[in-house]
Copies of this chain bind each other. A is one copy, B any other.
Amino acid sequence: MTYTVQIKVMPLKELLDPQGKAIEGGLQNLGLNNVEDVRVGKNISLQINADTPDQAKQIAEEASKKLLANPVMEYFEVSVN
């Protein structure tokens, strides 16, 4: 069966996120002052052929560890729909 999997890769909370800071500044210039702590990461959607949702999740976690996320700077979250 084919499962749709979403992988969210975000910068670690301890690190600065210059892209997020830039967006925060941009939003304030547009008059949206009630927005803070903006952080920008990646969202990767995949179709995974697997027997069970758990197996699909395992494949997605392997893909994240091997290719998609840099553990020095990023963490990832996998969700299977």
* Contact surface of A with B, Cβ cutoff 8 Å: 8-10, 20, 23, 26-27, 30, 32, 34-50, 59, 62-63, 66-68
**When the two chains form the complex, which single residue of B34, B46, B48 contacts A50, counting CB atoms closer than 8 Å?**
B34
- CA A59 – CA B34 in complex, angstroms? 9
Copies, count: 2
- CA A62 – CA B33 in complex, angstroms? 12
A46 touching B41, Cβ below 8 Å: no
B43 touching A42, Cβ below 8 Å: yes
A38 to chain B, nearest CB (A): 5
> What are some 14 contacts across the A-B interface (CB < 8 A)?
A10-B43, A20-B44, A23-B44, A26-B67, A34-B49, A35-B48, A36-B46, A36-B48, A38-B45, A39-B45, A40-B42, A41-B43, A41-B44, A42-B42
